Amino acid sequence: MGTADLPDALSGVLFGIQRLIRRRLRHGLGRPPLRGAQVELLRLVAANPGIGVSAAAKELYLAGNSVSTLVNQLRAAGLLRRETDPEDRRSALLLPTPEAESQLRAWQERRVALVRDQLERLGEDDRAALAAALPALYRLAEGLQEEVEKL
């Protein structure tokens, strides 16, 4: 493969891997699956308990009304709490419920196990190549993050 084909091939394979992981993890959940944006918001709130709607929107690069819709969906599902900010009664603080934290832990464990099982099927050379590519992939992600922040 030439370097001219690399951007399309790389973006395609990364997207495909993410889609396949999500699809595999949804199988056998026993509850309605959450959409990608819902999971992203839950992860963000779990990592930043008490984050506000506008800060979450900025972090996720979504419109405030889109995040409000997600908040309402996740509240209805019992996965998110919305409390009034004691310092600014006009603002709301977002907090994960214990069910959300449990679900996120379970997803993380299943995701790691799934990828670990697939990595074990690869040969040592392929695993070493993937490990060696990680620093470059992190730099690629950082560059993409910088571009998004300019928007």
* Structural domains of the chain ordered from first start: 32-150 (1.10.10.10)
Q: Are 103 and 111 in contact (CB under 8 A)?
A: no
**Binning pLDDT at 50, 70 and 90, where does residue 14 land?**
very high
Q: Are 27 and 107 in contact (CB under 8 A)?
A: no
CA atoms of 143 and 113, how far apart (whole Å): 29
Amino acid in position 61: Y
Nearest in space to 100 (alpha carbons), one of 123, 83, 81, 116: 81
CA atoms of 34 and 87, how far apart (whole Å): 32
Nearest in space to 103 (alpha carbons), one of 14, 51, 43, 146: 43
**What Rg, from alpha-carbon coordinates, does the chain have?**
18
- 34 phi/psi in degrees, rounded to 5: -90, 150
CA atoms of 22 and 150, how far apart (whole Å): 29
Predicted confidence (pLDDT) per residue in 60-106, tens digit: 888 888 999 999 999 999 999 999 888 888 888 999 999 999 988 98
Predicted confidence (pLDDT) per residue in 22-66, tens digit: 888 877 666 667 888 898 999 999 999 999 998 999 888 888 889
